[in-house]
Chain A
Amino acid sequence: MSTPRSVLVAGASAAGLSTVESLRRRGYDGAVTVLGAETHLPYDRPPLSKQVLAGKWDVDQARLRPASALSALDVEFVLGDAATGLDAVTRTVRTAAGRELVADAVVVATGVRPRTLPGQDDVTGIHVLRSLEDALALRADLLTSSRLVVVGEGVLGAEIAATAAGMGLAVTMVGPQPTPMAAQVGPLAGGLLAELHAGAGVELRLGTGVRGFTSCRHRVAGVCLDTGEVLPADVVVVAVGASPVTGWLEGSGLTLDNGVVCDSRCRAAAGVYAVGDVARWYHEGLGTSMRLENRTNATEQADAVAATILGEDRAYTPVPYYWTDQFDVKLQVHGLIHADAEVTVVDGDVAAGRFVARYQRDGRTTGVLGWNMPKQTRLRRQEVVDALTEPVPA
């Protein structure tokens, strides 16, 4: 396929903006349009649950790029208008405001939206956290509240609990897993996270789900657990995962299955690509289709998509990577940590609060986890790369 004369990116967050930056860095000089549902210029989401929620950064510090860098990209930003439909054959995107945008290449970068629980929209004081508005609304509520219940013990829930505890609130974290982030980090680091949170005063109610909410004058008053316990709360955050924003692609001709299904080059159809949280692509190194909701993937996949758009024929085979900062701990994971992995501490000391752990399955390193040792952890990333590129023994 020849180089497209125009590119339209639906989604103005990290993945969408990074796609444009990579196109320009690779020398693309065609017309580029970025369509964003939010009214803001592109901003970064990881700080929302940490620096922005804590009030340490103002809104401008969460901007992905300064205005001067954005204008240097020579891109038309159409903001405050959501994509509502796509015709994949003519590569036409329709928008909420009635626009019809056509381009030679369309990149789907519409991300995910938070899942919610039944009944949470009926009362005030129950929050989700995805957008800048969400973060500012939650912060405003935290500043006038004393008891927070975080429903969700994943990465986002654990970060919010840590930030709110640091702001002086009495925090309880609830979720079905045995430890915070158990599915992501396994029992060793999960147990340490539980100790970290408990030591900082966060009440843990783990191994239990949530049945509903109590309210008083339309304001949330408590969270009802499956155990029968009712946790009093004057503010609640629901952080129980997110779903790909693909409703607007129904009937588009694209295959949708927990994300936009793509080939190993992040192509969803001829001239249509997907990038970031919304994209489910085939990872040739891991031999499986996957969708990654993390910040690093947004940028790395964006570069792969830009390369594919410009005619390169290269599979996208990243080592998945994410980090989280909770209290004084920087936790970083390169690769994957399987539930049945064999874990070995290969650097530092768990008792000293600084270590690197290696996770292996069938003798192959699938992941490395660092606890307050970012550099030493990265230096072992190559072991994951090597295992990814070795042929699987027959």
Chain B
Amino acid sequence: MTGLLATLRLALGGIAYRRSTAVIVLLLAVVASTAAVVAPLYSRAAEESIARGALARSDQFARAVHVDVSTNAALQSAAPQADEAVAIVEEQLRSPAFQRPMVVRATEGLAQPTSGPQASGRVVVPVAERSSLCDHLKVTEGRCPTGADEVAVTTRSLELLGLRVGDHVSLTFPDLANAVSGQRAGTLTVVGSYRPFDLDDPYWLGRQIFGYVPHERPQGLGELPPMSDTLLAGPGFADRVGLPAYALDVPVDPRALDLDSAPVAAAQVAELAKGLGLRGALVTSQLPVLVDRATERSAVVRVAAPLAAVQLVLLAWVILAHVVGSATQERAPELGLAKLRGLSPGRTVRFGLAEVVLLLLVAAPLGTLLGWLVVRLAAEHLFEAGTGVHLTRWVVASVLLGVVGGIGAAAVAAHGVARQHVAELLRRVPGAAAGRRAGVAEGAVLALVVAGVVQLALTRDETPGPVAMAAPGMIALGGALLAARALRLLARRRTVRSLDAGRPAAVLGWAGVLRRAGVARTTGVLTAAIALLLIGVQAWSVASRERAVRATAETGAAVVLDVDATSPTALRDAVRRADPGADAMAVVRLPGGDTNPTVLAVDGTRAAHVLAFGHQRPDHLTAALDPRLPDPLTVRPGVVEVGLQVRSVSSPSPLTASVTVARPTSSTEAPAAAQTPAASSWVELPLGELRAGDRTYRAEVPSWCSDGCRLVGLALQHPGTDIASATADLTVTSIATGPVAQVTPLTTAFDDPHAWRPGVPDLGAALVDVTPGRQLKVTVSAPGGVPARVVHGDAPEPLPGLVAPGTAARDGLVQAVGLDGGLLRVARTSPVAFVPGLGSSGAIVDLDLALRGTARTGNGDLQVWLDRDDPVFERSLTTALRHDGVTVTGRTAAQSEQSALAKDGAVLSLLLFVACGGVALIVSAGAMLVAAFVGGRQRATEAAGLRVVGVRRLVVRRGLLIENLAGVGVALVGGAVAAVVAARVVLPVLPLFDQPSEYVGVSAAPDLPVGLWTLLAVAAVLATLAVVVASGQLRGGTVDRIREGTR
């Protein structure tokens, strides 16, 4: 005991004597312990977070446990009664995640209201009895039902049934237990009313309560009566009406599930299903499947996080060994004394280790606490709420392993020193370091690194994530070994050259590098740390970029606003006015269905700027959406004259011709019908009845065309009462417009095959044939009421569009639902990998062209897409839009998706990866400081000696600067090279997401600016450190240093 105390006293004295070194060793040991704790803690917490997130976001009905006992099953003797079933469930579902089972007994009755809108009619009335109803039902009038014949009814159902609170309602229920009568009558008293509410409360479990349909419901060839919301009955109702069937709902609280308890809970559900299944009850729950999926999602982090942390732990150990080696070298004279006093080699090593062991033992609990705090902090900010950070036995084992590893590393280092001869240990100035030759181990490590890198490069698409996670460490290690060797080679060459050139400062500096093996070791450690940091930062930066790209592409743009506007045209114009800078774009989303794809009609002039195609932006986007078309023809107030040569006309009633114009949105004299979004924006200007012969037809152009009305085309039609079709064969010779006496011909370009086309057949299939030439030949066949149109080519059909590869097409054309609800045909003019916001199925067309080709609008969801998530810009835009009659009703931002992606297991692993690099650099900088402290006395002594023999201070200073900066320079170059290699081979295979996007591609291109800035920052820090160390050594180099007997 006395010996132990004496050893402890000596160790404490030594620590106090070398307090600077001790502090750094302690810090490094704390970091190593922290890393050892963080690895399992973070990994487990991240897994739990992912699992919690997956379970919390699952549908509450899906994850709940449902026990259904049908009428048939309930009538069998084996089936448990509801009370017994509750007891069984409570006994078997013991996990705290399972909440109290709720008994639900529901049926449907038929009411025949005597008043109200359905008086004398029939209304289907669902009635349900739920346990603990009054704890959850908020009654707005009256009270909660407590008797078997009492019900609460929604206010709207009261109206439907013509009831008030206090009334009685008679219902006819099916009596399944009585096969003879089949029906049972019952009268219920309405004791309270309530309003429909949000069913998010787990109590309701998303069960259908509000099925209110106030009118007949079609079913097959017949109709079903209207239906009220569910009447919530008091306890005993089911027994009163003889309802044998029941269901049990067991809500699951995802917050009470963690990695350990979730599989247990799933197993309990399986066991319950097995037991109750034998008695005729059906147990359903998606919980086991959800738990399995959550576990699968955790797999990435389960493997990758420890790998990243293990790199850090190993690096910390290596650095610890290096530091302990340096510190032990500083104690060489003390170890020499021990040997001089006859201590055996083993006892000498133990004496040398005492201080380090003491520091490690102090560091272990400190590191554990720090690691726990770090992960706790991460859990609070990064992980799902409620994620626990538990110090399990694995964590303790990891810490112990870290301590043992640290002591082992220290023992190896101390043994190396203790093995030296006493005389060598007692020397005042240690001898020159023997140049290390690359041993077999070094070569083997490098060969492994090269093999790993080649394998990664060759099997990019097959390499699993964990290998990619481990690869940076391997590459950093290889870089470290090569950098250490390169430094020695460089130093040897520079020393010789400096000697030849007679540069004493350079000789001193480079020879100093050569003499001390520690410099090369520190350089190696620094290289590995810099490489790890650069790779980590690159991985994080690239992952962040790709998350943003993916989130924006999957959302469609940075921000998507749902809006209300009078028409797509009004929306388009309002957006253009509100944002002249083209950062926002009007979009009409035309929903698809089972057979039709969804189509986005976008403001083509802004699409290239706003649509988020990620890395797969198509070429010539604007040109693809809006190809070169004939210029629109415009008519103004006055007349429009059309020259027609009618060769033949046959119609059961007068066939009239008209000029179709599009009414401008700015017009205030528009027909009243045009105020509704679905109203036609095309107006027919009648030319009169079509007659055989060559004549000019004239129509008056209304004054609301003062800003110019686009000429859509010509139309021929006869009244809709005619069954027979009209036919006509004619030639359009001219179209002119202007004031009555000053009409001027329009540039009709009849000879251009793209200038005029037949209109899209409307319902009734009017047929039009157009033949271009000097004059336009037209043949028409149109049933009554259906206009036969000749449309100007500025409104193309089919519309040119960008079509995603997964879109169903026929003869190269995509058929969708247009703005008017009719057929919209889209021709693929340019391939795209996907449609932003839609995915691998869908199409994009130009909104202007879509509007030109349609008479009515009304179909589609109006949206405004923003190219950046800028609150100031968005506020200004929405304000301007509001003034223009466009109101925002909803908002979707890519940032939300990005935040969700940021909780992926892969991202959580990457974060640890970056932390690994950062900590590695801090630790290696610490190692550099220790090496400086330890070697500082020796170097200061040498500097003093040089000064004594007349070497100028400037020369000594330069020499020390070269010696300290050489390693840093080589480490920076080595680290950068290793990082470049790693970026080339690792980034392409690094898992950036748990599940890759189905259509948004990923780019592994490194983020060069971030890399350069990181390297510059690291270089500045390390160079400053080196200069400070060199200055300290120079200051310490006084004559006092070389006084006899001082150490």
Our verdict on whether A and B bind, yes or no, reads no
Residues of chain A whose beta carbon lies under 8 Å from any beta carbon of chain B: none
